Structure 1
Amino acid sequence: MTVSLGAGAALAHFHGQETEGTAAPGAAAPPATAPSTRPPAAKPKPAPEKTRKTQKTEKTQRPGPESPPKRTTVPQSGSGTFTTARATGAPVGHSGTLRRYRVQVEDGIALSARETAAEIQRILAHPRGWAAHGRGRFQLVSENADFVIRIATPDTADALCARQGYDTHGELNCETTDGVVVNLKRWMLGSPTFAGEPVEYRHLIINHEVGHEIGIRSHMGCPGPGRLAPAMMQQIKGLNGCRSNAFPYDEEGIYITGPIVS
């Protein structure tokens, strides 16, 4: 830290100076016939005054090693009970059947039901999503819903999906008779096959499972090497040459499709 000294402080921060002497008036000159050959004795220098320190020297702190980035940890199991988001919103979409949904989050996990519901609402309102292209309208409610979207720990998700005959291996999401089950691991960490952040992968989760809700029962395959994978493709199981993609429609509003595989 640089500290500027004021004028008064600067005057207090000095070194002693030497002074030259002058001969006293009327002093007798040494005899001309006997000049002295001894050099005059050197006058002692006045001792310099000790410089008074006017500021403290700051200790330079070396930065410690950078902390490694925190890893997101996902609990394997939870309570099996859920909190419903107490939130409602206006319908999104301009045509098609209105489907009301509520959002539930398993108790005891570090995820806010209300914030999660708001995020899902934004996903369903995205300009490349189902609602923007006439495939339905969606409204967030806290009761009297047509289907539910649950975020559950891997063990709880497996148990809920197993009731429908699905083996999700602690890794996958599923669609059930009363709605969508989202594996917390996928919601928080994304997918190793997806070239994007978890927040983008959440679009794929919701678009894929809600695609089943609006009547698209089959899965799709890759339409060709280097092309966008359909949202209705099970991309976590492999891309088969396609590029990962989270949306049902491309940026020009064209539906992204592929061969029916199941």
Structure 2
Amino acid sequence: MGKRAAPAGRRGTQSRRRARGRRGPVRRLALPVLVLMTLALGGGAALAHFNSQAADDSAAPAPEPTTVTEAPTTDAPTLRPTTAKPKPKPKATTAKPKPKPKPTPKKTTVPQSGAGTFTTAQASGDAVGTGGSLRRYRVQVEDGIELSAHGAAAEIQQILAHPRSWAAHGRGRFQLVSQNADFVIRIATPDTADALCARQGLNTHGELNCETADGVVVNLKRWMLGSPTFAGEAAEYRHLIINHEVGHEIGIRQHMGCPGPGKPAPAMMQQIKGLNGCRSNAFPYDEDGSYITGPIVS
């Protein structure tokens, strides 16, 4: 059986399809080739433009750096002024010189015994006092002790002229002389004072003063050191010694006791033996001129 020939219409159609089938792959390859060529041409231009721009950039000067200041934020805390005062700077200190140590007071030493002989103060003065009999006295100091007879005489003269003493209240007038005296005031070491007082039958135990037939005997220990029961300096206690013993000379024979607790002790009280509640006192009269008295004791 022979092949049937295709109709003319169909042969035309199949011919056109085969023709399109042969051209299809060529078209699909041409498009990418065309794109690559375009990119190659464009890339070269871009590369030329990049090289030209790089050359221009290298020729241009580098831009100066700029400083960027940050604007303050409102979130930062507000600083408040403090009330604390600034601490002063420490001052430069210089080393202070060390104070010199105070000299230790010289301890007064009293000799227990002496020569037993006396030097009379060659001094005289006006009578002191406002009334009563004139009594002349002289002052003697035992030899060999560090006490001036002249200095002692001047001090006793001031004691008798004191406004709270006997002479200022009409109980007698007193005058310092170097001879022709009515009585003598002797200042002696404890041993010598004991010996002089013993002649009158008085035991002074190396501590006390006494009044004898020819005058007053003052124990050097009491004159220099005062009394452990007296609230005052030795110089004030010397007023009590003279006022007490001269009180015997003007006729006050008895001793007195304390008039009451807290009151001043009478000058005629033996204060060295105890105050019995009284305050120590060196004068026969108080500041308003009243006589300081107390009960009579044996």
Pairwise TM-score range, normalised by the shorter structure: 0.7 to 0.9
Residue 199 (structure 2) aligns with = 163
Q: Does 1:145 align with 2:216?
A: no
Q: Does 1:255 align with 2:291?
A: yes
Q: Secondary structure at the match of 1:100?
A: strand
Residue 181 (structure 1) shift: 0.1
Residue 121 (structure 1) aligns with = 157
Residue 26 (structure 1) aligns with = none
Residue 174 (structure 1) aligns with = 210
Residue 224 (structure 1) aligns with = 260
Report the TM-score when normalising by structure 2: 0.67
Q: Does 1:196 align with 2:196?
A: no
**Per-residue displacement from partner, 1:16-53 (whole Å, max 9, x unpaired)?**
xxxxxxxxxxxxxxxxxxxxxxxxxxxxxxxxxxxxxx
| Matched residue type, 2:242 | I
**Which structure 1 residue ranges, 5 or more long, are not aligned?**
1-59
Residue 136 (structure 1) aligns with = 172
**Per-residue displacement from partner, 1:155-181 (whole Å, max 9, x unpaired)?**
000000000001100000000000000
| Matched residue type, 1:170 | G
Please give the alpha-carbon distance, in whole angstroms, between the structure 2 residues aligned to 1:70 and 1:125: 31
**Per-residue displacement from partner, 1:75-104 (whole Å, max 9, x unpaired)?**
000000000000000000011000000000
Please give the alpha-carbon distance, in whole angstroms, between the structure 2 residues aligned to 1:62 and 1:127: 47
Q: Secondary structure at the match of 2:246?
A: helix
Please give the alpha-carbon distance, in whole angstroms, between the structure 2 residues aligned to 1:157 and 1:231: 21
Higher relative contact order at CA 8 Å, sep ≥6: structure 1 or structure 2?
1
Please give the alpha-carbon distance, in whole angstroms, between the structure 2 residues aligned to 1:212 and 1:62: 55
Residue 269 (structure 2) aligns with = 233
Residue 66 (structure 1) shift: 3.9
Q: Secondary structure at the match of 1:225?
A: coil
Report the TM-score when normalising by structure 1: 0.76
Residue 138 (structure 2) aligns with = 102
Same amino acid, percent of matched pairs: 84
| Matched residue type, 2:139 | V
Residue 108 (structure 2) aligns with = 72
Moved over 6 A (4+): none
Q: Does 1:89 align with 2:120?
A: no
Please give the alpha-carbon distance, in whole angstroms, between the structure 2 residues aligned to 1:219 and 1:63: 51
Please give the alpha-carbon distance, in whole angstroms, between the structure 1 residues aligned to 2:99 and 2:260: 51
Residue 68 (structure 1) shift: 2.5
Structure index of larger Rg: 2
Q: Secondary structure at the match of 1:139?
A: strand
Residue 69 (structure 1) shift: 1.8
Please give the alpha-carbon distance, in whole angstroms, between the structure 1 residues aligned to 2:167 and 2:101: 49
Q: Secondary structure at the match of 1:142?
A: coil
Please give the alpha-carbon distance, in whole angstroms, between the structure 2 residues aligned to 1:65 and 1:252: 44
**Structure with the larger helix share:** 2
